[in-house]
Amino acid sequence: MDDRSFVAAQDFLLSAKTYWSTTMYRTLRDKSAAANKDVVDEQVETVASIAQCIEDAPLYQFYAWLERHLQRMKYAGRYGLVPYHHERRDDLLSALNQAFDAEKILDIDTSLALPAYYTGVDIHQHPGGVWSDAIAGMVYERGARTTTPLTGAAEKDVHERFTDLVLGECSPTTVLDMGCGFGKSTQPFVRRLPDSSIDAVDLSAPCLRLAADTALQSQAGNVRFRQMNACDTDFDADSFDLVTSTMVLHELPPKTIEELLDEAFRVLSPGGRMVHLDFYCVPDAFRRFVHYGHARRNNEPYMQPLAELDLSVLVESKGFVDVEITPFQESDRVDLNADDAWRFPWTVISATKPEGAAS
Ligand SMILES: C[S@@+](CC[C@H](N)C(=O)[O-])C[C@H]1O[C@@H](n2cnc3c(N)ncnc32)[C@H](O)[C@@H]1O
């Protein structure tokens, strides 16, 4: 497959996804509101009442089918990300900088046991997930460029905006990014905190290799990437001023979220802040119905359980104080008070480990 065909096909898929996110979404929303009006008052709409009204309607069936299959075509099939990268495998791997050891920027743990929730599903419909193939990090990186189709190329992306928010409230000298993927969530902290020490962990060796390669290219000397389970790290207790994660909690079963919170509490210094960016505050029943459907169609089995957790109570039960859970505007083009396009329910979840707390 040549580059031009691949790019054209992926552009087409993105345009179709944009149509799905806007025109189709609005039509579905209006149809759902009209159908529900005959059955229940808007105030008492639930996911179940909405499902009852529109799940069998041809519009919803097509909406759901299109979402599932646009994502499938993004990764697999004739113009998919996986076959495209597979054809270029040798070149891609030989282009990765091999100076990791010399720079001590990457630590891969070949004996690390990957949890069953992680290996048991092809997350995002990515064949083999983000961990099983040496080129999976590059496939994921390319795919992630179009995760938020409505974000303009010229504006600050979601990770930059999140970093602005976090660093507007604290000036950490030690940072841990849990579930850093290919480093996109880590990079803004690395750039903005040149004198701080930044650690980033993930389960995926292919993603970590790409993250380290990118850091080497930018000559960042303040970051280390390590293959570790974020719920069970090797870091000393009380060793970070700031612990963050971006788009990780919704990939974890509830019990694993608890373990991650326990680990964040352990490694944070007293007075340190934990800040997660994830998908949580869903404003109404229709968007909840659509969000749960998205989770199923995108192979994300723990998205719905996260949205149904009482996170505030859970985080406090782990010993944290000053818990804040607030909707997050991921793009200048988004109006948090409007419902004119499909979007993720971006949310910032933050809390402090109290001064004097024992780990
Ligand atoms: C959606 S990606 C987000 C990556 C990155 N934070 C970003 O914003 O681009 C979720 C990441 O969490 C990682 N992950 C899942 N469970 C994990 C765990 N228990 N420990 C460490 N990383 C984990 C996955 O390998 C994946 O890279």
Q: What's the distance, CA 150 to chain centroid?
A: 16
Asked whether residue 33 carries a pLDDT value surpassing 80, the answer given is: yes
123 lines ligand 1 (CB under 6 A): no
Residues 253-287 pLDDT 10s: 999 999 999 999 999 999 999 999 999 999 999 99
The encoded tokens of residue 109 equal 């743990």
**Homologous superfamily of domain range 100-352:** Vaccinia Virus protein VP39 (3.40.50.150)
Average pLDDT over residues 207-212: 95
Q: Which of 126, 251, 294 to mutate to test the pocket of ligand 1 (most atoms within 8 A of CB)?
A: 251
Residue 358: band (very low, low, confident or very high) from pLDDT cuts 50, 70, 90: confident
Answer yes or no: is the C-beta of 201 below 6 A from any ligand 1 atom: yes
> Which pLDDT band holds residue 101 (cuts at 50, 70, 90)?
low
CB atoms within 10 A of CB 139: 25
d(CA 76, CA 82): 6
Burial-class residue 163 by CB neighbours within 10 Å (0-12, 13-18, 19+). Answer: buried
d(C-alpha 158, C-alpha 348), whole Å: 12
User: What pLDDT is attached to residue 15?
Assistant: 94
The whole-number average pLDDT for the span 39-68 is: 90
As a whole number of Å, the CA-based R_g of the chain is 21
Percent of the chain with pLDDT over 70: 95
pLDDT given for residue 221 in this prediction: 86
Residues 74-100 have a mean pLDDT of 90
Domain ranges of the chain: 3-95, 100-352
Alpha helix (H) residue ranges in the chain: 3-19, 25-37, 47-54, 58-75, 81-87, 89-95, 100-103, 116-119, 136-144, 158-167, 187-192, 205-217, 254-267, 285-297, 303-308, 311-317
* 213-224 mean pLDDT: 91
- Ligand 1 centroid–CA 118 distance in Å is 10
pLDDT at 304 > cutoff 70: yes
**Ligand 1 geometric centre to CA of 206 (Å):** 12
User: What was the pLDDT predicted at 249?
Assistant: 98
